[in-house]
């Protein structure tokens, strides 16, 4: 049974690569919504980030559209990390799924996939 009549929060995370052609410098994560979006609903991507210092976490869709760029402000918060709430445009959701590509950016260094300590989890929330 696939249908879920939820209009609120249901977050399902599939933490394995779902597409065969994900580049090695990103981590690709497939997230599923419980249902197709209804009018007036907004989808949020909750990204739990570890201690990334002044690195940045960049989030794009599978076809390269930017979802957000995350960075910690101040030394203290950079050491602690946190969860960022990133709105997801409805047009980026296909078939009630979102494929997110996650990369770590740092000046002077090539973009790379995050470790599990740098990006700990991703979840979708619908409100």
Partner 1 sequence: MSTAPGTTRRTFLKTSLATAGTVALSRRFALAQAPAKYRRYNVTSPGGQKALASYAEAVKIMLKLPADHPHNWFRNAFVHLMDCPHGNWWFYVWHRGYVGLFEETVRKLSGDPTFAFPYWDWSVLPQIPDAMFDGVLTPTDAAFEPFTKDIDTFTAYIQPSLKKYWDGLNHDQRGQLDNRGYKSFELMWNEVTGFNPKLDPPRVDPENMAFAKTSGARYLSRSNPKLDADVTFNCSAKVVYPGLLPTSFFDPITEISFNSSKTSSHNTPPPDRTVFSTLEGQPHNSTHNYIGGVGNIPGGPYGNMTNNLSPVDPLFFLHHSNMDRLWDVWTRKQQVLGLPYLPEEADFKSWGSEPFLFFVNAEGEQVGASYAKDYISTSRFQYDYEPGFGEAVIKRPKRLLSAAQMAPVKGVLKGNSATMMLSAGAIKNHLADDADSPLIALVTLPRPTEASPNRDFDVLVGAPESVTDAGPESPYYAGTVAFFGGMMHMPGMSEDATFLVPLPKKAQAFKGLGAGSGSVAVSIRVVPSGGGRSVLKAATVRAL
| Residue 9 binds partner 1 (CB under 8 A) | yes
Residues 6+ apart with CB under 8 A from 27: 17, 101, 102, 103, 113, 114, 119
Residues 6+ apart with CB under 8 A from 22: 28, 101
Among 32, 37, 51, 113, binds partner 1 (CB under 8 A): 32
Comparing CB distances to partner 1, the nearer of 32 and 113 is: 32
| Residue 37 binds partner 1 (CB under 8 A) | no
Q: What is the CA radius of gyration of the chain?
A: 15
- Could you tell me the two tokens for 9? 């929060």
Q: Which positions from 64 through 123 interact with partner 1, judged by CB under 8 A? A: 66, 68-78, 80-87, 89, 105-109
Q: Minimal CA–CA distance to 61: which of 16, 20, 103, 104?
A: 103
Comparing CB distances to partner 1, the nearer of 48 and 94 is: 48
Among 7, 22, 37, 51, binds partner 1 (CB under 8 A): 7
Q: Using DSSP, state whether 92 is helix, strand or coil.
A: helix
Smallest distance from the beta carbon of 102 to partner 1, in angstroms? 14
Give the footprint of partner 1 on this chain (CB under 8 A): 1-10, 12-16, 32, 34, 42, 44, 46, 48, 53-54, 56, 58, 66, 68-78, 80-87, 89, 105-109, 125, 127
């Amino acid at each position: 049974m696939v249908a879920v009549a939820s209009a609120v929060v249901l977050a399902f995370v599939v933490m394995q690569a779902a597409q065969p052609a994900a580049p090695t410098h990103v981590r690709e994560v497939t997230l599923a919504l419980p249902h197709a979006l209804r009018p007036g609903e907004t989808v949020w991507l909750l990204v739990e980030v570890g201690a990334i210092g002044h690195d940045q976490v960049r989030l794009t869709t599978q076809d390269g559209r930017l979802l957000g760029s995350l960075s910690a402000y101040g030394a203290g918060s950079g050491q602690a990390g946190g969860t960022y709430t990133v709105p997801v445009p409805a047009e980026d959701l296909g078939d009630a799924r979102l494929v997110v590509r996650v990369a770590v950016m740092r000046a002077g260094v090539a973009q790379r996939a995050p470790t599990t300590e740098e990006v700990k989890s991703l979840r979708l929330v619908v409100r």
